[in-house]
Structure 1
Amino acid sequence: MRIYAVADLHGRAERIRQIGRAVRRLRPDALIAAGDITGFFRPGPVIEALNGWGIPVLAVRGNTDVKRVDNLLAHHTRTCDLHLRAVEMKGIRFVGISGAVPVPFRTRIRFREKAVLERAAALTDRQTVLVVHPPPRGTLDEVGGRFHAGSSGVKALVEACRPLAVICGHIHERPGIAVMGQTLVVNCAVARNGSGALIECPEGGPPTARML
């Protein structure tokens, strides 16, 4: 399965066009949007653009995505709100958690309850691609080279469930690929000249990724 993963578009028109061109070029089986898809205003046109690319779009909200984004994702035919849901595609299970860590950034939504992580853990197995906005704490989460800003809750979830891969964003300074135990971690934040990441999940084999 070929997955195109992006995060932190922030509703910017040039980034939306850039992602659309990449979808047409790469021909992925699905687009994964790991939060901060929209800005604080006018999310409708952004979700409409994602829906118009002709492939399934699985998304979680980040800290700049207003609550209305959930309804917009549910309204369109190709977009899906993945929060605390499991979606199966080509033998891969996708599970999502919307939200962000509360510090050091102001945020509209965050992991408020232990129950959210427990519900996600109940859906997650070794063949799961976990889609979250913040990276696991200590992995692809350095801000300014001075401190780690990832989520301790996501880290604990990954350590306990050992999913196939984690797709995240949030930390614009650290897009890239890492391995946490046996789990591939991809921070697909679209920053500077980047265009996200392409992840290949071959049947029966480990996933691989490259930044775009």
Structure 2
Amino acid sequence: MADTIRLVIISDTHGFHEIVVPPGDVLIHGGDGCKTGTLDEARQWGAFLDAQPHAHKIAIAGNHDRCFEADLDAARAQLPSKLEFLHDSGCELDGVRYWGAPWQPWFLSWAFNLPRGPELGQKWALIPDNTDVLVTHGPPHGILDRTYAGEPVGCEELRAAVARVRPRVHVFGHIHEGYGVASRDGTMFVNASTCTLSYRPTNAAIVVDLPRDRARPAELVSGG
């Protein structure tokens, strides 16, 4: 058994299913696989994920994935049965504990909006303390969350939850112009938005090696 697990991380693909995805052990999609969130778009997103060769695949919904908010069961049925679709839920794969959730501070009239404050805090309170890899659609406040105007729009309650949980890797997207990687207090933060601000799918997938030894930090391989 290898002493590291290779994570291949993408997000905000918005229906661009011709992108090149590097090989690895676990493919993680941080939401917004759809453009407007129809069931047909969800089916196409599912076909894209199903075609990838990774042994394990994880995905969450994002604000463009409206059908997942309107009818979660019907939308989930469009995705591969072997996909780990996380929705305020977690899974364990090869000893690594993952948790995923789609929520973000209120943003126009898109899906999975909640007001800043206690309602978002209640969602993040569900994250177990032993989470290794946290997958949320939106970023925490102050980390890879600045818009083109320079405004930090991430979630304050999520930032507090990350400080409590201290995941080894925190994956998100949503703010396309925040694409990149940052490390703080033992957590590697990955904004893996595939699409740019102008919705061009030109940002590379971010590849991270996660050592099985929890005393060792995650290592950036490529992207970001």
TM over 0.5: yes
Q: Is the 8 A contact 2:26 2:57 kept in 1?
A: yes
Decide whether aligned partners of structure 1 residues 146 and 164 sit closer, same or farther in structure 2, where only a CA change above 3 A counts.
same
Residues 25-55 of structure 1, C-alpha deviation per residue, up to 9 Å, x if partnerless?
x321111111111121322111122123243
Report the AA paired with residue 203 of structure 1: R
Contact 1:47 1:73 in 2 (8 A): no
Amino acid at match of 2:172: C
1:59 maps to a residue whose letter is: A
- Structure 2 counterpart of 1:206, one-letter code: P
Matched, 1:124 2:129: yes
Residues 1:166 and 1:60: Cα distance change in structure 2 (over 3 Å): same
Q: Deviations over 1:100-155 (max 9, x none)?
A: 2214x4421124623221112xx232x51000011110000111242101111210
| Identical residues among aligned pairs (%) | 24
Q: 1:53 matched to which residue of 2?
A: 52
Q: Following TM superposition, by how much is the alpha carbon of 1:78 offset from its aligned partner in structure 2, in angstroms?
A: 2.3
Stretches of structure 2 lacking an aligned partner (at least 5 in a row): 197-201
* Aligned-partner SS, 2:182: strand
Q: Deviations over 1:160-198 (max 9, x none)?
A: 111111000011111001113221100000134212211
1:7 alignment partner, one of 11, 17, 20: 11
TM-score after normalising by structure 1: 0.86
Rounded Cα–Cα distance in structure 1 between residues aligned with 2:33 and 2:170: 17
Distance 1:196 1:124 in 2: 27
Kept in 1, the 8 Å contact 2:129–2:164? The answer is no
* Corresponding residue SS for 1:173: helix
Residue type of the alignment partner of 2:28: I
- Paired residue secondary structure (1:94): strand
Q: Tell me the residue number matched to 2:25.
A: 29
Contact kept, 8 Å, 2:89 with 2:99, in 1: the verdict is yes
Specify whether residues 111 and 97 from structure 1 end up closer, same or farther in structure 2 by C-alpha distance, changes over 3 A only: farther
**Aligned equivalents of 1:183 and 1:46: distance in 2?**
29
Larger displacement relative to structure 2 (43-52 or 131-140): 43-52
Match of 1:200 among 185, 195, 209: 209
- Identify the residue that residue 139 of structure 2 maps to in structure 1: 135
AA at the equivalent of 2:48: A
CA separation in 1, counterparts of 2:68 and 2:181?
31
2:122 to 83, 108, 115: 115
> Secondary structure in 1 aligned to 2:47?
helix
Pair 1:17-2:55 in alignment: no
Q: Deviations over 1:46-80 (max 9, x none)?
A: 11221232432211111100234843445522222
What is the TM-score of this pair, normalised by structure 2?
0.81
The code of the aligned residue for 1:141 comes to D
CA distance in 2, matches of 1:73, 1:91: 25
Deviation, structure 1 residue 92: 1.1
Structure 1 unaligned spans of 5+:
none
Q: Please report the RMSD computed on the Cα atoms of aligned residues, expressed in angstroms.
A: 2.0
